[in-house]
Amino acid sequence: MSKPHPQIDAAVFDLDGTLFLGKTLIKGALETVAALRKSGVKTLYLTNAGTRTRQGVADKLAAMGFPTNANEVYCGSYILARYILDKHAGKTVFPVGEPGLSEELRRNGIGVDESGKDCDIVAVCLDRTLTYDKLGRAHVLLRKGALFLATNKDHIFPTETGTMPGAGAIVAALEFSSERTPYVVGKPNPMAFELMKAEHGIDCGRAVMVGDRLDTDIAFARNCGMKSALVLTGNSKKADIGDLKPDFVLDSIADFLKKIR
């Protein structure tokens, strides 16, 4: 093992827009993560996306060349499951999302009813199979008083060819129709850091969050007391930086090892 990194013991990486765009790796991502792991820096992955299970995200990362175990992944579906287990154990969920959301909830022993009959919770993430019928069932439950949870309110997500509507677009439709406000478990909510601390013992003062969004990644770092690095390969650009300032601004992940010393 080479010399430990002088500033950090842990690096937490956002995924889309930071390490890759869609199915395309961002130059330097594999090399940066490999170098950090070799030096003994704990590398974790944090995404608001809830469309895959924790294991599914780990499998995707491994297929792209990132050596990853599922317990190093913190995704929207897993964070949501942990929140429900902690705060609303025994409640039944109507999922507005893709199969990965329902699967992760079930893996954690949470009841899921995709018919939407008398569910206690409406849980929302990105759903590229969304139908008006599904939206309508969620609306009815929320108007009856079901708990409203969301993995995130990201308005867009980056792809190789530009941005697409994010989970926030679906959440907004239900907010408007039900006149309800959801509890959002994903970034910038610091809940994920509490899970990382419990499961990996990371110290906020010796950790850095690396991401492409000021409103989620950099705000998350601030809320957790972590260092932050904004990469300019995704949503936020240098001109967007205002009061919420990252500790480091990188053209891409390829600059991480040069800038964070």
pLDDT in tens, 167-191: 999 999 999 999 999 999 999 999 9
With 90 as the cut, is the pLDDT of residue 260 above it?
no
CA distance 215 to 206: 22
pLDDT tens digit string along 72-116? 999 999 999 999 999 999 999 999 999 999 999 999 999 999 998
pLDDT tier at 162, thresholds 50, 70, 90:
confident
As a whole number, the mean pLDDT across the chain is 95
Q: In terms of pTM, does the model score above 0.75?
A: yes
The predicted model gives 40-67 an average pLDDT of: 97
What token pair was written down for 2? Answer: 């080479």
CA distance 187 to 216: 5
Angle at 103 between CA 70 and CA 60, to 5 degrees: 40
The angle that helices 191-200 and 76-87 make with each other, rounded to 10 degrees, is 90
Calculate the CA dihedral of residues 225, 104, 169, 178 and round it to 10 degrees: -100
The predicted model gives 215-240 an average pLDDT of: 96
With 50 as the cut, is the pLDDT of residue 2 above it?
no
What token pair was written down for 137? Answer: 């069932």
With 50 as the cut, is the pLDDT of residue 34 above it?
yes
The predicted model gives 204-209 an average pLDDT of: 96
Tokens 């601390």, located at residue: 197
With 60 as the cut, is the pLDDT of residue 61 above it?
yes
Domains of the chain and CATH, by start: 10-48+187-259 (3.40.50.1000), 84-184 (3.40.50.1000)
With 60 as the cut, is the pLDDT of residue 3 above it?
no
* Cβ atoms of 11 and 43 closer than 8 Å: yes
The pLDDT of residue 6 is 65
Strand 24-25 with 20-21, pairing: antiparallel
Of 56, 12, 11, whose CA–CA distance to 187 is shortest? 12
Residues marked active site are found at 14, 16
The predicted model gives 111-130 an average pLDDT of: 95
Within its chain, how far is the Cα of 237 from the centroid? 20
The pLDDT of residue 4 is 53
